[in-house]
Structure 1
């Protein structure tokens, strides 16, 4: 059971990293599009902001899934 929990935690973390990276790639693509349309502006601060928000969102989603997993395990035992 402990190995099963460790496996699902690893899968959850890998899934969150995948979605977080996909989210960041979409933000990067949007910023590159805007930068191509308006090359005068510098979007480094905006990129930093969206990177931080993506990281916070990924950590929050991971914590929510861990909380749900703990609730499910407490009901099962």
Structure 2
């Protein structure tokens, strides 16, 4: 592992890249990337928003069920203890 790091360090010391070369390589890499179309972005945004709404409603009802069960359990314990 240290040999690979040493080799990498030696390569970096031997050749420093200029700012112009860096920008050129950056533009080349950006040309290789593909960005989603506006339809894809809109569709995935709609899916995310609908999922958030669905899970918010679902978790609200799960929370209400837990509250109902815990209140019932509290009432039962109080009846048994006699409070």
What TM-score does the superposition give when structure 2 sets the normalisation length?
0.46
The higher-RCO structure (CA 8 Å, 6+ apart) is 1
Q: Which has the higher helix share?
A: 1
What TM-score does the superposition give when structure 1 sets the normalisation length?
0.49
**In terms of Rg, which structure is larger?**
2
